[in-house]
Amino acid sequence: MNTRALVIGEALIDIIDGAEVRELVGGSPANVAVGVARQGHDVRLLTRLGRDERGARIAEQIASSGAALTADSWVDAPTSTARARLRSDGSAEYDFAIDWDIPTPTLDDVALVHAGSIALFLEPGGAAVVEALERAAGDRLVTVDPNIRPALVGDRASARQRFARAAAAADLIKLSDEDAAWLYPDLALDGVLAEIAAHGPRIVVITRGGEGAIARGADGIVEVEALPVEVVDTIGAGDAYMASLISSALDDDGIFSSQEALARALRRAAVTAGITVSRAGANPPTRGEVDAAS
C-alpha cells in the first residue's frame, strides 16, 4: 500500500465567489496528491508555494492528508490563486494568478510520476515537467491529466504538441470531455481515444460528468456510469477521479492488461468522484469512505 508516488504541479488557493467568498486549498496536482495519500499511498508533491499565510494553509492540508512537500517547493514569491465563479449547475470558471517555475525534479525511489494541468503547459516550468515525464517513462509508471485551462495553455497547436509529448511518455491518460473537445475539436470521443492511444499510453480515460466515463484499454472500450449523488459543486471531481486511477494502478497493474480490472478501477474512480462532488470544495474521500460506498 505504501508505494511512493511523485506528483508534479501547481498548488494554489481557490477563491470561491458565491453567496460568500471562501478560500479553499486547490490546484489540480495538489488535489491529486491529497487524493492519492487519502487512498493510503506514500506521496510527495513538487510544487511552488510562497512563504505566506496561503502557502502555509496549503502545506498544512497536504501534510494532514498524509502527503509530503518536497523541500524545494518553497519560494520567496506569493502563493498562486484561482478565483472560481460557480455556475448554476455547480461547475466553475476560473481566473488565475499563477507563476510556475520549478527545479529539475528528482525521480529517485519513485514508482509513479504524475503531472498535468497548468504545470504541463505554463512556462518556464512546463518544459521541466514534460522532461521529467520523459525521463520517468519505461522505468516508472507515468500518469497525466491535461486538465486544460484555455486561458493559460497558449495556442491549441502548441498545447497539443506538448500534450502529445506527455502522452507518449505516459502509461495512463485521463482527461475530461471538455479537455477532449478543446484539444481535438473535430473528433468524436471514440476518435479522441484512438488519437491519444496512438501516442502510446496503455489506458486512455475520458470522463463525461454525470454521463460517466469511457476508456480504451488493452482489450478495447469500457464504459462506466457515474455515481448518482446530489451535486454540491464539481470542484476537484476530476482530480479525485485521477487520484483513484493512480491508486488503482499502484494497487494492481492488472488494469493495464485486464478489461475486468480496468472496469473495476473505473467504477471505483466514479465512486471517489461522486463522493467528492457531494461536498463543497476539493475534498476527496479516504480509502475507507470509498470502500464503504463501493
Q: What is the spatial distance between Cα 166 and Cα 155, in angstroms, rounded to a whole number? A: 17
Output DSSP code: residue 140: B
Q: Closest Cα partner for 111 from 265, 244, 253? A: 253
Q: What is the spatial distance between Cα 88 and Cα 84, in angstroms, rounded to a whole number? A: 13
Residue 2: its pLDDT value, please? 62
Helix (H) or strand (E) holding 30: helix 28-38
Q: Closest Cα partner for 255 from 214, 213, 218, 288? A: 218
Instruction: Judge: domain 5-293, CATH 3.40.1190.20.
Output: yes
Mind listing the pLDDT tens digit for each residue in 104-163?
999 989 999 999 999 999 999 999 999 999 999 999 999 999 999 998 898 999 999 999
Q: Closest Cα partner for 265 from 251, 248, 252, 250? A: 248
Write the DSSP assignment of 199-218 as a string of letters.
Answer: TS-SEEEEE-GGG-EEEEET
What mean pLDDT do residues 243-251 have? 97
Backbone angles phi, psi at 115, to 5 degrees: -155, 170
Domain boundaries, the chain: 5-293
Q: Position 101: which residue type?
A: D
Mind listing the pLDDT tens digit for each residue in 48-95?
999 999 999 999 999 999 999 999 999 999 999 988 777 766 666 778
